[in-house]
């Protein structure tokens, strides 16, 4: 595994929703942090005067974190979101802790349990399925 797990994310910096890895057990569990700031571009329009991190971006942060558990050299896309729940808004100044456990896989599909929390309180959770290609291509799922 690369010494910097974040370097494995294929996302450009402008679309990366993982700032730091706190803990990682390859193929099993990963814990990451995302610092939400007033300077985040997506908060400028969501919503002016009352910025909230969009729920879809919380799911993206969980999916990116899950992707860190995949084997080196693999490429993945989000294939399914199950039982997503949003418990409270995430606002500038919050530090989101994302915890993901790999539940299993079958062929090119890998299933994960993901939870996002702020100050120990759950803000979002979901079960995610990533479709994986071992050769780095995303056109053969």
Active-site residue set? 46
Q: How many residues does the chain have?
A: 141
Which segments of the chain are extended strands (E)?
20-25, 29-35, 75-86, 95-106, 109-118, 121-133
3-state secondary structure of 79: strand
CA 113 to chain centre: 11
What is the C-alpha separation between 92 and 84, in angstroms, rounded?
22
């Amino acid at each position: 595994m690369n010494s910097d797990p974040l370097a494995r994310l294929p996302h450009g910096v402008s679309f990366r929703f993982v700032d730091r890895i706190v803990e990682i057990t390859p193929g099993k569990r990963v814990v990451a942090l995302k610092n939400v700031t007033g300077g985040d571009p997506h908060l400028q329009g969501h919503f002016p005067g009352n910025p909230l991190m969009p729920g879809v971006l919380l799911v993206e942060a969980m999916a990116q974190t899950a992707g860190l558990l995949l084997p080196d050299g693999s490429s993945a896309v989000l294939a399914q979101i199950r039982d997503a729940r949003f418990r409270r808004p995430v606002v500038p100044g919050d530090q989101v802790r994302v915890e993901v456990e790999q539940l299993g896989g079958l062929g090119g599909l890998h299933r994960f349990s993901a939870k996002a929390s702020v100050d120990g309180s759950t803000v979002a959770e979901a079960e995610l399925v990533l479709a994986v290609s071992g050769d780095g291509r995303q056109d053969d799922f």
